[in-house]
Amino acid sequence: MNDVDGKELKSLLESIRFAYGYDFTDYSEASVKRRVALYMSNKKIKSFSDFSNTILKEEKAFEEFVQELSVTVTEMFRDPLFYKSLREHVMKRLATYPFIKIWVAGCATGEEVYSIAILLKEANLLDRSVIYATDINQHSLMIAKEGLFSIERMKEYTSNYQKSGGKESFSDYYISKYNSVLFDKSLRKNMVFSSHNLAGDKSFNEFQLILCRNVLIYFNQHLQNRVINLFHESLCPFGILALGNKESLLFSEKRICFDDIDKKEKIFIKTK
Cα-Cα-Cα-Cα torsion 115, 88, 266, 31, nearest 10 degrees, comes to: -10
Domain covering 80-270: architecture:
3-Layer(aba) Sandwich (3.40)
- 248-252: average pLDDT: 86
Check pLDDT > 50 for residue 1: no
Question: Across residues 156-160, what is the average pLDDT?
Answer: 98
User: Tens of pLDDT along 63-122?
Assistant: 889 888 886 679 999 999 999 999 999 999 999 999 999 999 999 999 999 999 999 999
Nearest alpha-carbon partner for 94 in 72, 116, 61, 68: 116
Taking the domains of the chain in order of start, what are their residue ranges? 6-69, 80-270
What value does the mean pLDDT of the chain take?
93
Query: For 26-39, what is each residue's pLDDT tens digit?
Result: 999 988 998 898 88
Mean pLDDT of 226-247: 95
Burial 217-230 (b: 16+ CB within 10 A, else e): ebbeeebbbbbbeb
